[in-house]
Every structure is written in C-alpha cells, then in structure tokens.
C-alpha cells in the first residue's frame, strides 16, 4: 500500500488528489480544512528547499493518513434547522460584535507590542549588517591605524546581523501562519462552523 510514496514518485498534486478522494465522505468545508494543513506543509517545505517527493515521503501514505483522519473526525455541529434566517443573521451580528471587542481589548494591544518588537529587531539586524561600512569610515578617518580591530569587530557584528535576519525570517513565517489560523478561527465562529465536538 505504501509502495507508491516510498518510491518517491508521488508529487504534491497527486498526493493531495489521492487524499481528497479518500476523504470524500467528509463534508466539503471540513475536508478543505484537513487538506489546508497538508498544503501548508508543502509550502513550508518547498520554502526550505525540499522537493515535493521528499515532502510526500515525510508525510507517508495517503491511505494511512486518511484512515487516521477519519477515525478522529467528528462532524461539524450544525445549527438547528428550525432557526430562521433572520435569527441566524442576528446571531452572526452579535458574535461579530463580541469578537470585535474581544480582539480590540485583548488581542490588538499584544499584537501591536509584538509588531513593535519585530520592527525593532529588524532595525537591529539591518544596523548589524551594515557595520562593515565602519571599515571604510575608519580608513577615511584614521587610515590604516587600528583597521585590523575594526575589521574583525565589523565581521562579528555582520555575522550576528545575518543570524538575526535568518531568525526574523523564520519568526515572520511563523507569525504569518499563526495569523492565518487565527483569522480562519474567527471566520469559522462568525459563519457558524464552530468547533468540532471533542
């Protein structure tokens, strides 16, 4: 059963198509949420330089994944059929207002604080990266006096700037994924998709 993916012949489209066909009994909205996580895995892996076949091999057999997902799946709880459309719109409006005030009070402040730290770290990384310009400045002002010390110090600080930049890029990707998930979570609440039953 696993010979296909172990042979490194299956690519992203084939893998997702196979998994989608194995999950046909799951309602479309829930199936899309399941497949989204795997699409995200491919996007992140390819951003790190991995090829599609390697990422498929990491995930494993679509049949086994589908079996696990189906065993853990609980259908989305639907609103009672007798609720009128007007009541549904009113509920959505109330939920939207509640989420707005919750995000305004509890989420916006910390988010702005994190964004400020993020910008500050990027400024620090940029400042460290341009320290080799100090070598040129030292040559202009002092000639060759102390140039060796300035060179090694600028080399160290530039290396720190590179490391910090790489770390900030990874942190930025993680923040983007977290923000996407949080937006989807808010959207699910507003449009009545709700949480899956435990």
Residue 158: closest CA among 129, 121, 138: 129
Task: Kindly state the DSSP code that residue 34 receives in the 8-state scheme.
Answer: H
Per-residue pLDDT tens digits for 163-173: 999 999 999 99
- H-type alpha helices, 48-105: 52-59, 62-72, 85-102
Q: Which segments of the chain are extended strands (E)?
A: none
On the CB side of 162, how many CA atoms lie within 13 Å of its CA?
Answer: 7
Q: What's the total number of domains in the chain? A: 2
Residue 172 in any domain: the answer is yes
- Residue 87 pLDDT level (bands cut at 50, 70, 90): low
Per-residue pLDDT tens digits for 144-187: 777 788 788 888 999 999 999 999 999 999 999 988 888 888 88
Q: 186 and 92, same structural domain?
A: yes
Q: 171 and 111, same structural domain?
A: yes
Q: 117 and 44, same structural domain?
A: no
Q: Is 76 helix (H, G, I), strand (E, B) or coil?
A: strand
To the question of pTM greater than 0.85 for the whole model, the response is no
Largest CA distance in the chain: 86
Q: 150 and 179, same structural domain?
A: yes
76 forms bridges with which residues in the sheet?
196
């Amino acid at each position: 059963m696993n010979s296909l993916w172990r042979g490194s012949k299956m690519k992203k489209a084939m893998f997702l198509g196979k998994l989608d066909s194995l999950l046909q009994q799951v309602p479309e909205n829930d199936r899309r949420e399941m497949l989204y996580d795997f699409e995200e895995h491919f996007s992140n892996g390819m951003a790190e330089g991995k090829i599609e076949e390697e990422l498929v091999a990491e995930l494993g057999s679509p049949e086994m994944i589908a079996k696990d997902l189906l065993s853990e799946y609980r259908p989305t709880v639907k609103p009672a059929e007798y609720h009128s459309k007007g009541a549904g719109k009113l509920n959505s409006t109330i939920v939207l207002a509640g989420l707005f005030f919750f995000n305004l009070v509890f989420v916006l402040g910390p988010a702005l604080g994190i964004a400020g730290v993020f910008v500050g770290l990027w400024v620090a990384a940029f400042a460290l990266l341009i320290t080799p310009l100090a070598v040129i400045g030292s040559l202009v002002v002092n000639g060759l006096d102390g140039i060796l010390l300035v060179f090694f110090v600028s080399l160290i600080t530039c290396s720190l700037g590179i490391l910090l930049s790489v770390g900030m890029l990874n942190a930025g990707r993680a923040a983007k994924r977290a923000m996407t998930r949080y937006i989807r979570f808010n959207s699910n609440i507003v449009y009545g998709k709700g949480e899956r039953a435990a």
